[in-house]
Amino acid sequence: MKFPRRTFLHLAAGAAALPAVSSIARAQAYPSRPVRVIEGFGAGGAPDILARLLGQWLSERLGQQFVIENRTGAATNIATEAVVRAPPDGYTLLLVTPANAISATLLLVVPVGILALWLRDRWAALRARF
């Protein structure tokens, strides 16, 4: 593949600047406060056990508490809506199961509203960063 001279110079300058920029940029410590993991099934089921095992492993690995919440009902749409309405800061996670995918394809009324809220919030968060 043959690059025009200007494109090649831009790529070369970017490649030369990358090591300097990466040493300056530092990631924020995540997580710095407890993280909520919301799952859409009742306590004691397979998704709940999986969420608790993952939460324990992540807690040991990252050194922060992971709180597991059960939001049952409406084929996991209540849990999904709770995550969508949470602040877009990365401290509220959703345990996604095949039920979430089935709900998104079969129940077009609820997930479309949830998807619209999610996209609006994420777009606002992205615009606020830049």
Q: Determine contact, residues 49/79, Cβ cutoff 8 Å.
A: no
Query: Is the predicted pLDDT of residue 22 greater than 70, yes or no?
Result: no
pLDDT of residue 67: 95
CA distances 101 to 27, 93, 104, Å, are 32, 16, 5
CATH superfamily of 35-129: Bordetella uptake gene, domain 1 (3.40.190.150)
Residue 46 tokens, joined = 């397979």
The DSSP bridge partners found for residue 38 are 69, 94
pLDDT of residue 60: 93
pLDDT in tens, 89-104: 889 999 988 888 777 7
β-bridge pairing 92-94 and 66-70: unpaired
Predicted TM-score (pTM) of the model is 0.64
pLDDT in tens, 54-87: 999 999 999 999 999 999 988 888 888 888 888 8
Q: Mean pLDDT, to the nearest integer, of 23-43?
A: 82
Q: What residue ranges do the domains of the chain occupy?
A: 35-129
pLDDT of residue 12: 78
